[in-house]
Structure 1
């Protein structure tokens, strides 16, 4: 049985755990607030694309993935449809280097770990700000594709953790008229109605539109939890002239529900008790009082103008607003006795206003032996948060095996005001040189300056800090005649930290660096690719847990690993997606980092019947393996978390050229498993069954 720590030490340790696992403390928001922008791929088509993908995520200029000396994976709309992806963190279940689902089926947060570290999320090439519980949640139905850039990304994207970034690309207007209406039903009372229509708005086709909308509701994986969503996203594209284009993107999304807090103790999950195991659907929250009302609105544009045959100017801009009213109750990490444990409660009520703009000049010129692409840019962000918050780590007591949902309401007078203001300016230069169609040389440098003010009225603490950093990046790749392209790259990351230690001193910025050696294989005779990479990431000035539970900055975190990934057609009808990841993530004391498995593997097969009586039928199936993990070294959990294997399947049938019926099942066997432990333990998501019927024109 785990021992109970002292009250003071426990509260400090719990505060750290909550900041690390949930981002509850807004003062910790600056650990995950990168600035900058990704350039958007200019393709408007939603048709299935070759696995030889051209993207602008990694370099901010268009380049084939197999000719980019960085590790990048992408999931297209076709695959999102096939697997019926319902949340962003389901996207990369069948790609290497990305861990998701480690906290179960959370209904108000997308959770990813990339190469053993946290990641940051972008939407349409611009940062989606997610400080604390103010989460920006992309709706998967509104996306054309999702990309993951693995490893440090500060060279083009400003402050970021060393794990990587995820870019969600919205659906765009199309040149041809098209549309879709879809209805879905499923277990846990899943209901969804969606539509998507696009095409030319003028006779000449120089103005095009798209309108995407959705309503869906579903119960959470815990008793008494649910989420209801409204989503609407119009967009317009205008060819102002032959050399000038403007794309306007807007979205509105409203979520209402009761939050899923999957926190459970090791006692009753990993560990046996005199009262048996805790049911995975057990809810330690207060569903009659808890709520999650979340509204996010955005409008922005992408502007491109060709100055001449060599130079073009690009500008991305977005303004976003987020309103949040959150009440959330959760169990603590220790128990009072064999049956009861304290509960914590938090509230957030506030709003975020932000805008970000990225200006780029791209020049490309040629000689007999070379092709040179020069990129330089300036980006700027402004973020303002104004809200009230409440935190109690021992609000009341709950029966571990028979929890009741009642809770005493929190008086509004106990909510304290938090104000955060942040401005950041970034300057960057990158050059890509291609020599004799054999060598690709890449180099870049970036400078950032961030002004951050964080004021909290409860303890009368104000942090007003300016921090700056310079980041470097480089890479070299050889292009082989047989499609084998080996490469070596180096990248850096940094994170300004607007926090103070117990003595009142401001922490130093967190820095990261990565060396990566890899090979990409995509022969012209095969519609597919294989990539393999070894990487070594080191993060300095990382936060560590002192013996008494408070944060120190004496830490160092490392991750070394190997990734193997392949997507391609074995035959004209059979497509295979397969991935393997090995990651050894360790802290400053050379102990394994919590939650991160050493081994992950997955494979998905799709078979399309193209003739005979079953023409139009598609069968798909996948298997996902996640190896054993450990809990936080600072916790009292000694047991390892066992590995688990899950199976998914889909069947789709094109009734005719308009109608399609489909059924998706995730976790077919309804496996009951603990997905991970840090200070708490988390059951994995239960079986999901969803049927779809769509009409397309």
Structure 2
């Protein structure tokens, strides 16, 4: 960890994390390896403001709540569409780092939920030749082989390549669930001239799975029954029928050209597609002391998307100032087409405590509907950062978006014109203590319909934040603290049938502290604390208020690792504790108890190129309910993996 952590996601230009009035976090490749991150939603377990794992060990989706809200996922600065059950899942083995911008972020990214933006940065070609071969094995039949090679192309000085490949298979926490993944990501970098660089990025990923359905009822999880508790591994799905077959592919480029010492232009473009066949059955509701009705989610279709971001960046100086101007025009186009069926409680029946499978009826032709939704957005944005006397940082931005959403089956259309604003102010002190204020806005058109077939209205958010970032010269790392208020309108909430409806608004008052630093040359610590008071107001019931489901008021984590450089060279051990306070589901009148989870790691580097590592998540095999929101979800069970790697 270097003292100056740089983020591009916060401002779309490289900037030290502690010198921008925007709340951001970065997880580098070294940390991803150390904690053996297997899915994107494991990335920020030890960062403030981030809730993950609240739906258990899901193999279908990466689940996040940032400061109590949903977020957008980007890869290499361009949005990846994760619409409904059509989920794009970035493979962590193919990433160099992951960046997080917290809170509303429409000024730079257009349509986004109020939670913010997660930007997964792909591995890029390297100037020197290097390689990695890694083999892993663990419980739940975990098997993994990864290969990563890069360097200059043969016989050239200005062309570089990288090839990343992975195979992974394993079983899920729930009986009969499994997943098998194939991943390949070639990339090429070309110095066209001294001032122009072109990077080509592509990937292909195939998942064949029996989908994880963590849906459980409060009855038998957080509530007692005459028959005891439901075992966390109990499956209410139909293993012989359910499937999740997903193929995702992308190809795109990054073009950077320096015009002169002041101006440069950047262009990012990508085409991506997700093909999906999903048959996913689940428990819908209780029908008797021991029985429940099953539902089914069926999707057979694809998403095609184009994303384009054009930027002009100017940077100039005077005796007292440094000015960075960003002008941009971006375009996003999404087409989702296929067949769908949603059978709530009409698919089959099952015993809650001793499931017997096969008592179900597949959907008929009359129950399967066509789906064809188009979403198109174009945005124009401007942002200026002014530094005065290397003391003051003034940040201001504005953006205008036009978004069109149409449902070609129902004929409904929604046009959205939105202007988003942002502003920030920071003072940079000699002692490394940098206080700041910021204001940001967001909007999010929803490419979907409610249970009545009507298009959703855009979700709107705004955030006011005051904080301080601390990075003195004597500390190899940083400490940040922030207090914020987020307000959201047209909030989606789970209703009686488990469907989503826009029935209110949400306000969140929060406070968080985060630190990543080396206390000594051998001892590194990552500390985080979050307080989040998130309250929803239901406008359909005369403004009744309740705590937002899933969101605990208090979260805390600490990770320590120590390198035995002198006593046992090559040995490094680490461990972390994650605490989530109690949460509530007022709809079910359920309180979910708090829980604490322990993670452990040990690594030994031997020889010139070899490493062996063991990771254990939930080392005590704590059995806990992670959250409830109409349904309840057990948390991830104990997982351990051992790996051996060779680097050159």
TM-score between both structures, scaled by the size of structure 2: 0.96
Question: Secondary structure of 2:545's partner?
Answer: coil
CA contact (8 A) 2:173 2:637 kept: yes
Question: Secondary structure of 1:241's partner?
Answer: coil
**Deviation for aligned residue 1:544:** 5.0
CA contact (8 A) 1:349 1:388 kept: yes
Match of 2:584 in 1: 630
Task: Report the CA distance shift for 1:367/1:574 in structure 2 as closer, same or farther (over 3 A).
Answer: same
Corresponding residue to 2:22 among 63, 70, 73: 70
Match of 1:23 in 2: none
Task: Report the CA distance shift for 1:544/1:220 in structure 2 as closer, same or farther (over 3 A).
Answer: closer
Task: Report the CA distance shift for 1:428/1:239 in structure 2 as closer, same or farther (over 3 A).
Answer: same
Q: Distance in 2 between matches of 1:226 and 1:384?
A: 29
Match of 1:158 in 2: 110
Corresponding residue to 2:590 among 629, 632, 639: 639
CA contact (8 A) 1:290 1:326 kept: yes
1:177-224 Cα offsets, whole Å, 9 max, x none, are: 100000000000000011000011144521111000000101011000
Corresponding residue to 1:408 among 355, 361, 379: 361
Aligned residue pair count? 640
RMSD: 1.6
Match of 1:668 in 2: 619
Alignment of 1:432-581 (within 5 A): 432-456=385-409, 461-497=410-446, 508-543=457-492, 553=502, 555-581=504-530
CA contact (8 A) 2:461 2:486 kept: yes
Matched, 1:227 2:179: yes
**Deviation for aligned residue 1:412:** 5.1
Match of 2:315 in 1: 364
Q: Distance in 1 between matches of 2:110 and 2:129?
A: 39
Q: Distance in 2 between matches of 1:174 and 1:476?
A: 37
**Deviation for aligned residue 1:388:** 0.5
CA contact (8 A) 1:543 1:554 kept: yes
Match of 1:337 in 2: 288
CA contact (8 A) 1:468 1:496 kept: no
Range 520-529 or range 216-225, more displaced: 520-529
Task: Report the CA distance shift for 1:351/1:508 in structure 2 as closer, same or farther (over 3 A).
Answer: closer
Structure 1 regions of 5+ residues with no counterpart? Answer: 1-48
Match of 2:208 in 1: 256
Question: Secondary structure of 1:176's partner?
Answer: coil
Greater strand content = 2
Corresponding residue to 1:593 among 548, 562, 568: 548
Matched, 1:316 2:268: yes
Task: Report the CA distance shift for 1:183/1:349 in structure 2 as closer, same or farther (over 3 A).
Answer: same
Match of 1:678 in 2: 629
Structure 1 runs (4+) greater than 3 angstroms displaced: 407-414, 497-508, 543-554
Alignment of 1:347-386 (within 5 A): 347-386=298-337
Task: Report the CA distance shift for 1:178/1:398 in structure 2 as closer, same or farther (over 3 A).
Answer: same
Q: Distance in 1 between matches of 2:452 and 2:524?
A: 58
Q: Distance in 2 between matches of 1:573 and 1:436?
A: 37
TM-score between both structures, scaled by the size of structure 1: 0.90
**Deviation for aligned residue 1:546:** 7.3
**Deviation for aligned residue 1:526:** 1.8
1:622-657 Cα offsets, whole Å, 9 max, x none, are: 1000000001x3x3x223100000100000001112
Corresponding residue to 1:114 among 57, 66, 86: 66
Alignment of 1:17-166 (within 5 A): 49-166=1-118
Structure 2 regions of 5+ residues with no counterpart? Answer: 538-543
Q: Distance in 2 between matches of 1:197 and 1:590?
A: 54
Q: Distance in 2 between matches of 1:670 and 1:319?
A: 42
